[in-house]
Chains A and B, each alone.
Chain A
């Protein structure tokens, strides 16, 4: 079987109904009235822009503190990595591993994976189409779990408001990190996995 696009058919992203739509024409789904697109509009350039933005934000997200605690005479700050090391040193290895995966492994893997998907689609690679699609599914599925650290920080500053000598505050790193999570989630949504198969065509493994 060919692809829907080759047959002049477009499937609605909302309800899955197939409609006949000439190339480059505009139309709405007859059932749910959503705008029909054969492929997500400007998928590659939008995803590239978001991925590059996420790479830039990734630097302050990891270098700036996500938690700042100020005591009377001392100030301390925790970045994502030093927070994880603290868990590790206090013996909470499971928690350390969990936060490490959610905050370091997932965002970085996601960025590298999206970059590879974009490059391979632009080079019209025909290889590993199935594996690339599976990778995309993984990126889409795990991305949101990176929000874990933001919630931990928010709850920590709410609970730890003891006395007037010490105060604990959300650091600027949390903002950058939250932005990385949101931007990479949108990047995964703007990427169209059907582009992988447009180049691969019928060359199946």
Chain B
């Protein structure tokens, strides 16, 4: 990390530990300090004041997360190769893929709208999936990817902007809208896209940042022990 010149960050100390069991945590949404408690899997800890989610219990394994993300990567590629909807009218045959939707809007002189669609439907979801694979594959091999903190922050920043599930709803609305004027056939990509969104949503709802950092810390300690033994 390169702090601003002349503005050196002061070294920060880890939070005080009261005892080995009860660590302190501050609520993200109201800043109330609370003691951490042990959670069952599939349970969430909620803030006692504002009811926001403090942290989530372990609900997934590293290998399951990795499998989900790898499936998402394959499905995202497939979804971008084939048409998502096909329109037939008077013998004419028009196919819409995700990318030629962007290109059509771009060619109509709406570059910013095209960029918005390109980013939210293709670029940012692909970035998120690629970053997750970059982080998870080395962890599964017992290593830690270089620049893990920066890449993880990138995932957090990108996540609200990947809108594949909204695009899917948009496709369905468009199919209903145009069905009166022409013969509309759902394309191959529509099915792979549905599967992609199911896997992506499963991964997002199973993912716990706390688990992720626990995986990182676990490998960190193991690597340190190895180094000290050598």
Residue numbers of A with Cβ under 8 A of B are: 1-5, 7, 9, 11, 13-22, 25-36, 87, 90, 92, 95, 98-99, 129-130, 133-134, 136-137, 144-145, 147-148, 150-163, 169-170, 174-175, 178-179, 182, 185, 189, 193-194, 196-198, 204
Interface contacts beyond A11-B28, A30-B14: sample of 16 additional A-B pairs, CB < 8 Å, sorted by A: A1-B33, A9-B26, A11-B26, A16-B209, A27-B9, A30-B12, A32-B153, A95-B176, A150-B113, A154-B113, A155-B85, A155-B96, A155-B171, A160-B87, A178-B112, A185-B161
Q: How far is A87 from B176 in the complex, measured between Cα atoms in Å?
A: 10
Q: How far is A74 from B181 in the complex, measured between Cα atoms in Å?
A: 18
A19 touches B12 (CB 8 A): yes
Q: How far is A133 from B176 in the complex, measured between Cα atoms in Å?
A: 37
Q: Which of B1, B178, B210 is close to A156, meaning CB atoms less than 8 Å apart?
A: B178
Residue numbers of B with Cβ under 8 A of A are: 1, 3, 7-16, 24-26, 28-34, 49-52, 55, 84-85, 87, 89-90, 92, 94, 96, 100-102, 104-105, 108, 110, 112-114, 116-117, 120-121, 149-150, 152-153, 156, 160-161, 163, 166-167, 169-171, 173-174, 176-178, 180-182, 184, 209-210, 213
A185 touches B108 (CB 8 A): no
Tell me which residues across on chain A come within 8 A of B176, comparing CB atoms. 92, 95
Tell me which residues across on chain A come within 8 A of B210, comparing CB atoms. 16
